[in-house]
Amino acid sequence: MVLFLFLTHLGLGIIFTLVLVSREAGVKFFRFNAGMAAILMAAAFAVRPSELEPSAATTTGLAALAVAEAAIVIYWASVGRALASIRPALVVIACGGGLVALTAQAIATTAVGGFTVLTLASFLSSTALLGGASTAMILGHWYLILPSMQVSHLQAIVKVHIASLVVRIVVVAAAVMVAIATWQPGLGPSFRHYILSVAGIFFWQRVLFGLGGPAVLSYLTWETAKIRSTQSATGILYVDFFTVIVGEVLAKYLLLATRVAV
């Protein structure tokens, strides 16, 4: 389930952030990212847990994800070729299907008595953070292919990445505060006890690598992008993307283990 959620959110995040990149990046950039998103979502389908409890939410989520997958595959096949006029509609369909899938996943994974809104906010912010980090890294690398491309495009996507990180931190902080405030005796160990125990090491790894690391690295990326050092910025973004991956995988594990959407 952890891998299924991670692959889904990364694939959808790439689709969401593609609409924010200038066409100056070139046909191959969009084809590469669309293809990668399609592969990630296909992999998510392949590893989806067989023990998923049948429900309206899970069925709707998988159907919406299939729609997003079909739309992005057709988009990938049409980039740089015919049918250019339908590509904006395909992106809208893929993004719409993705939003429905994320909403259904949030409903399906929220425990009884939990806060579906917080889980949905966690999934949306996770998707934005993963997509922003991936797209920024690949766009930075694309300056080796198109060195004449304006550095403002990299600066813009780095801003998006920083903004998504800020939102992610706010959502995680809110989830932790709600989990601590709403615990009642008789429901097992409190979340405060969990994060202060030995088992809480996963939570602190999630905070350190998944939030603290990207916060420092995204700032360094922004500073290097400002001085137009695209190669240095790209190198930092590779490390940044790795820390985001570690943090979001741990976040999904913690969600399933503790029912807290961190």
Among 256, 252, 260, 258, CA closest to 8: 252
The rounded average pLDDT for each run of 10 residues, N- to C-terminus, in the chain (262 residues) is 95 94 90 96 90 77 95 88 78 95 91 76 96 95 89 94 97 92 67 86 94 95 91 94 96 90 88
**What DSSP state is assigned to residue 54?**
P
DSSP H helices in 143-212: 152-182, 191-195, 201-207
Q: What ranges do the domains of the chain cover?
A: 2-258
Q: Are 124 and 5 in contact (CB under 8 A)?
A: no
In this prediction, residue 196 carries a pLDDT of 87
Residue in 101, 94, 144 with CA at minimum distance from that of residue 120:
101
pLDDT at 80: 67
Q: How high is the pLDDT of residue 65?
A: 95
**1 vs 49: CA distance, rounded Å:** 6
pLDDT, residue 114, reads 63
pLDDT of residue 185: 54
pLDDT, residue 26, reads 87
- The whole-number pLDDT of residue 11 equals 97
**In contact, 91 and 15? CB cutoff 8 Å:** yes
Q: Is the pTM of this model over 0.85?
A: yes
Instruction: Note the pLDDT of residue 207.
Output: 95
Tell me the residue ranges of DSSP E strands in 88-236: none
Instruction: Answer yes or no: are the C-beta atoms of 254 and 262 closer than 8 Å.
Output: yes
Angle at alpha carbon of residue 244, lines to 241 and 246, rounded to 5°: 110
What pLDDT score was predicted for residue 188?
Answer: 62
